[in-house]
């Protein structure tokens, strides 16, 4: 990757991310001569548009795919050709897709209030493509309910299905198992108390729940299944208030106790939004307590916690890597 910076030690320096060189806003329609095949999709907090950077592209000149603002939680399809994200317009939300080439404007896939959602679909969150690219699973709030549920819709906008029609458990950002038969999601009493991991089959069979272990109070944002399905990564909120990336093994439908990926110890360091970039490497968002822009970092997985992380993209939010 171009533009990478490596940092070794226990704490990310205050103001670290703010020291990166100024960024081009990316415009749209390409990253120089580099077409997107694999890399990160993300939004910027200042303008809420979707950007992508290819692994071979310049992280300081990302490609902007949207221009209207109001974009949240982009996710890359398994073929690398499309992004699905949530568009917020006033109090309404919709699922929209846009090609990673930036060749066309975004298209609406499914909107809040659609008649196909019998309980009323509002407040869409964290969509993700199925491995075959034929459907999208996402989080929504049923109208009048304080809990969140999982929905699935085909990529032509048809066939909406509520996957978790309950009244007591909330579900967070989904990630597909490699064979597409189920999603793994954080779950709990509310979006701020996602203290379990749930294996949710798409055929309607029983959901399996696993605890997070004693160190982690809740999942802050996302769980991500590894490319071969043998591990999951998640951003765990600790008693100190900080958030760290954890990795746990998957056996059948159950998840083991998570182990920290990094040894960074500064209480102001926040790690979140993990994505697998390869079988032994994770990308994630990291920021400090000094108010600097968060950036996307990568760290190796598999040889114990590391004190070495590499900055790959400055000034980003809600990153997603693909294809795996």
pLDDT at 79: 96
Q: Which of 124, 130, 237 is nearest to 175 (CA)?
A: 130
The model's pLDDT over 261-318, given as tens digits with 9 standing for 90+, comes to: 999 877 678 999 999 999 999 999 998 766 667 999 999 998 788 889 999 999 999 9
The model's pLDDT over 234-268, given as tens digits with 9 standing for 90+, comes to: 999 999 888 999 999 999 999 999 999 999 877 67
How many CB atoms within 10 Å of residue 252? Answer: 7
Instruction: Kindly state the tokens that stand for 22.
Output: 């100024």
The model's pLDDT over 96-145, given as tens digits with 9 standing for 90+, comes to: 999 999 888 999 999 999 999 988 999 999 999 999 999 999 999 998 78
pLDDT at 175: 98
Residue 227 to residue 229: CA distance in whole angstroms: 6
Residue 237 to residue 244: CA distance in whole angstroms: 7
- Residues in Cβ contact with 131 at an 8 Å cutoff, skipping those fewer than 6 apart: 78, 176, 178, 179, 180
pLDDT at 290: 62
The model's pLDDT over 148-169, given as tens digits with 9 standing for 90+, comes to: 999 999 999 999 999 999 879 9
Q: How many domains is the chain partitioned into structurally?
A: 1
Sign of CA dihedral 203, 151, 278, 250: negative
Cis peptide bond prior to 190, omega within 30° of 0: no
pLDDT at 14: 31
| Model confidence, pTM | 0.89
The model's pLDDT over 196-231, given as tens digits with 9 standing for 90+, comes to: 999 999 999 999 999 998 889 999 999 999 999 999
Query: What is the chain's Cα-based Rg?
Result: 18
Residue 219 to residue 231: CA distance in whole angstroms: 16
What backbone torsions phi and psi does residue 19 show, to the nearest 5 degrees?
-85, -5
Domain housing 253: 5-322
Domain with residue 192: its CATH number is 2.120.10.30
The model's pLDDT over 58-75, given as tens digits with 9 standing for 90+, comes to: 999 999 999 999 999 999
Total H helices, total E strands in the chain = 0, 27
**Over 147-211, what HEC string results?**
CCEEEEEECCCCCCEECCCCCCCEECECEECCCCCEEEEEEECCCCCCCEEEEEECCCCCCEEEE
């Amino acid at each position: 990757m171009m533009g990478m910076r490596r940092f070794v030690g226990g704490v990310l320096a205050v103001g670290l991310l703010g020291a990166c060189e100024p960024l081009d806003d990316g415009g749209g329609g390409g990253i120089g001569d580099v077409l997107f095949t694999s890399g990160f999709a993300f939004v910027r907090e200042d303008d809420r548009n979707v950007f992508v950077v290819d692994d071979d592209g310049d992280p300081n000149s990302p490609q902007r795919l949207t221009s209207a603002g109001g974009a949240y939680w982009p996710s890359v399809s398994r073929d690398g050709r499309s992004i699905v994200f949530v568009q917020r317009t006033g109090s309404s939300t919709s699922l929209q897709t846009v090609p990673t080439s930036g060749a066309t404007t975004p298209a609406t896939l499914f909107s809040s209030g659609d008649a196909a959602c019998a309980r009323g679909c509002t407040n869409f969150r964290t969509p993700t493509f199925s491995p075959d690219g034929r459907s999208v699973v996402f989080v929504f709030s049923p109208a009048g309910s304080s809990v969140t549920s999982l929905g699935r819709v085909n990529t032509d906008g048809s066939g909406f299905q509520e996957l978790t029609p309950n009244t007591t458990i909330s579900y967070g950002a989904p990630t597909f198992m490699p064979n597409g038969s189920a999603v793994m999601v954080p779950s709990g009493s509310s979006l701020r108390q996602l203290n379990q991991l749930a294996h949710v089959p798409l055929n309607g069979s029983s959901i399996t729940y696993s605890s997070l272990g004693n160190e982690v109070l809740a999942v802050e944002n996302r769980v991500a299944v590894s490319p071969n399905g043998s591990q999951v990564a998640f951003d765990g909120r600790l008693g100190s208030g900080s958030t760290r990336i954890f990795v746990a093994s998957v056996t059948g439908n159950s998840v083991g106790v998570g182990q920290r990926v990094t040894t960074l110890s500064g209480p102001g360091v926040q790690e979140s939004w993990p994505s697998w970039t390869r079988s032994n490497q994770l990308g994630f968002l990291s920021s400090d307590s000094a108010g600097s822009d968060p950036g996307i970092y990568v760290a190796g997985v598999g040889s114990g916690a590391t004190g070495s992380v590499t900055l790959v993209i400055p000034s980003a939010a809600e990153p997603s890597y693909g294809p795996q």
